[in-house]
Amino acid sequence: MRINLNTRLLLAILAVAVPVFISTFGYMAFNLRPERIHDMENLADAQAGKYANLVRSYITEEAKISRTMADNFETMENLSGDLKEQYTKALLGQIYAKNPNYRAIWMSWERSFLDPNWNLNYGRVRYNYFKSQGKTLLQIDSMNTNGDDVGSLYHQLKTSKVERLTEPYTDDFNGETELIASVTSPIVINGKFAGLAGIDIPLSRFKGIISQAEILNGSISFLVANDGVFVGNQTEKLVGSSIETMFGAEGEVVKSKIAKGKAFAVNFTDENDEEYYVTFQPFQVNPSSPAWMVGVAVPYSQMHSAIDDRFFSSSLVALLGLLILAAVVFLISRSITLPLTKITKALKYLSNGEINRVKSLEISRSDEIGDIADSTNTLIEGLTNTAMFAKEIGQGNLEAHFKSVSENDVLGNALIDMRQSLANARKEEEHRRLSEDEQKWATAGFAKFGELLRNNTDNIEEFSYNIIMNLIKYTQSNQGGFFLLNDEDEGDKHLQLVASYAYERRKYSARRIELNENLVGQCYLEAEPIFMTEVPNNYVNITSGLGSSNPRCLLIVPLRFNDMVYGVIEMASFSVYQPFQINFIEKVAESIASTISTVKVNLRTIKLLEESKLKSEELAAQEEEMRQNMEELQTTQEESARRELEMNGILNALNSSYMVAELDLDANIISINENALHLLGISKEAAEGHNLRSFIQNEEVDEFDAIWEKALSGRSVTRQRFIVRAKGRIAISESYTPIFDEFDNLSKILNIGVEVALD
């Protein structure tokens, strides 16, 4: 029997779901019940811990205030007793006014810190703010004047010097009795106990917290101090009583566990045979305070009832889910089979090649069925596009758009390859034709400029203008300039604009560009072309009758030949230069540079010939002048020799009876005769090469310098001076005579002296 896919899916899923449902709930009913009980016990533990932290946070706030009070009192160390009392009242009053829910706030000073004359280690003064009949009262008591009460809480804290939360106790305020606990902080100054600050908290504050704590119906929450006294209880009559009241015979064991301050849980049965799970969670205000406990008692009957209710609710939900599952399976199977039917029909048409009968499937899904539908639509679209593309290629339309279905689309990729082959053949034909046109254009240009360069003239400006004009016209540019290197002055090399052309008219402008200035100078220095399609604003403006604007491109080419740069050509155009045009301009520039090199060599040769002619004439004149100078020099040398002979004769005559010394222009001794050495009493080695000033007495140096300046000016000077010798003082008359060479230049000073008789 044929069963359709929809029915098959529904039967298969229900056959699996129903047994799983029955076995799962049977397992939950018989095996998971103990685990659920344990989970509820853990829930009770967590709830008790939560309320333990909540109660601790309340009491911790009071502990912080108590600690703050103690810190403030510790700062009063250096105050007098009266000021301490005054500030204590003010501080306690302010804090109590802001916290009216406190039962009382108090502070006890050791008398020795209030009265400097009190030298005993006991005795205290207590300041106590409290309310009575709606009024705030201050009570001041002098206590322990005869000695500390060793068993009292105050004495314990005085000895331990630690913060503490006291056990609950009953206090009487003017006839009003209430269960309270105190948060205390010691005041320690320089390591010595100075007093105790405290806050009395009414335990009725925790009634609201405990009454709100509930896990299950019938559960009981309570707060127990470390000594086992109920601080708070949902059963108000138990507040202030011992834990033994609740647990009976087991109370002593529970009380001892509470005293240890550790979390624990117990089971107990009340007088109505109701079994309870009781959990205790501890908390401490500070490490030195005894731990208090928050307890939660949950009846097991309520746990079982809650588990049964949840199991029943879960069963109903599961049954409803099974019905919904059946409905969903039916809808899902139907949503699968209907699209598959449409897809199957479309594939039958495609298998028969009836592409024109197939339409795109309107199935919008994001699952496997949707993937199948998308793939089918892709196949339909791909085959349709492929058929249309093949038809376009057959009609010669190689620009028809087509994209293969994927990289593995054999038919589509084959058609694309075929189109590419046809397009490449067409492009090669077009490129070959374009290359021939470009080659013809370049060949004609080389011939044109070759003729221009062969007809060059010695007029470099006219030559430059013809080149730049024809180059601008031939390349259909708009504007250009021809720059040549001006190196006539080696110290002032620069580029000179010798010709420019724009819009079919000659431009007359004189422009000098330094070698390191703008793009023209950069092109010269780098000896490389510069091609720009983004010309800076205002770099060059092309002006015509229609206005002015920036060019679209700029081409600057060096005139380089044999590694020498003779100038630069700068061209601007509204049309972007093509690579073949740039290549043409660069080759023409090289030919221009070769021609300029030849022209410069010719001009330099002509200039050298003219300079050579002038040099020859100048050389002939110099030779005549040199001949005359030689004759004059010979006459001068003869006169100098005659003078030298005369001088030597004079010196020889003087050496026999006079002191004679030759001095250079710095007064250093060049030569000295025996008479002078004898008179000075020194050797020839000690004299020659030494300055004459070293042989003159200090008091005569200024006089000698004045005489020496006159001699250097060309005048002869005579003076008389004294020399002290062992035999006595002797007088010397001496002269300083300047000696000139054959060119009448002062060359040395002649010092001549003779001993004269004293009067």
Q: Comparing 122-136, 386-400, 699-713, which segment has the lowest mean pLDDT?
A: 386-400
Q: Is the dihedral of CA 751, 752, 754, 756 positive or negative?
A: negative
Q: With a cut of 60, say whether residue 134 has pLDDT above it.
A: yes
Residues 366-386, mean pLDDT to the nearest whole number: 72
Structural domain includes residue 650: no
pLDDT tens profile 202-219:
877 777 666 666 556 667
For residues 470 and 603, state if they share a domain.
yes
Q: What is the pLDDT of residue 320?
A: 80
Query: Number of structural domains, the chain?
Result: 3
577 within 8 A of 540, measured Cβ to Cβ: no
* Residue finishing a domain among 181, 205, 229: 205
Please list, in sequence order, all residues whose beta carbon lies within 8 angstroms of the beta carbon of residue 449, skipping any fewer than 6 positions away.
467, 470, 471, 474, 588, 591, 592
Residue 543 confidence (pLDDT) above 60:
no
- One-character DSSP codes across 80-93: -HHHHHHHHHHHHH
Q: Does 593 have pLDDT greater than 60?
A: yes
Q: Is the pLDDT of residue 197 over 90?
A: yes
pLDDT above 90 (res 109): yes
My answer on whether 597 and 696 are in the same domain is no
Domain annotation covers residue 266: no
pLDDT of 490: 81
Residue 318 lies in a domain: no
Q: For the segment 676-715, what is each residue's pLDDT rounded down to a tens digit?
A: 888 777 888 888 888 888 888 788 888 888 889 988 888 8
Residues 83 and 201 in one domain: yes
Asked if residue 80 belongs to a domain, the reply is: yes
Contact 693, 667 (CB under 8 A): yes
CATH number of the domain bearing residue 462: 3.30.450.40
Residues 470 and 600 in one domain: yes
CATH code at position 146: 3.30.450.20
688, 671 in Cβ contact below 8 A? Answer: yes
Residue 117 belongs to a domain: yes
- Provide the pLDDT for residue 106: 92
Mean per-residue pLDDT for 743-753?
84
Q: Which two tokens stand for residue 678?
A: 């004898």
Torsional sign, CA 55, 58, 63, 66: negative
- pTM of the predicted structure, to 2 decimals: 0.40
In the chain, % of residues over pLDDT 70 = 82
Which pLDDT score, from 0 to 100, does residue 239 have?
Answer: 79
Please indicate, yes or no, if residue 177 is contained in any of the structural domains: yes
Chain mean pLDDT for the chain: 79
Residues 67 and 194 in one domain: yes
Query: Do residues 78 and 194 share a domain?
Result: yes
Residue 259 clears pLDDT 50, i.e. is over it: yes
Tokens coding 361: 């499937």
Q: Are residues 604 and 679 in the same domain?
A: no
Residue range of the domain that includes 187: 58-205
In a domain, 71, yes or no: yes
Domain boundary among 205, 238, 262: 205
- Establish if 134 belongs to a structural domain: yes
Mean pLDDT within 278-300: 84
Query: Which of 189, 205, 221 is the endpoint of a domain?
Result: 205
- Tens of pLDDT, residues 137-164: 899 999 998 888 888 888 888 888 888 8
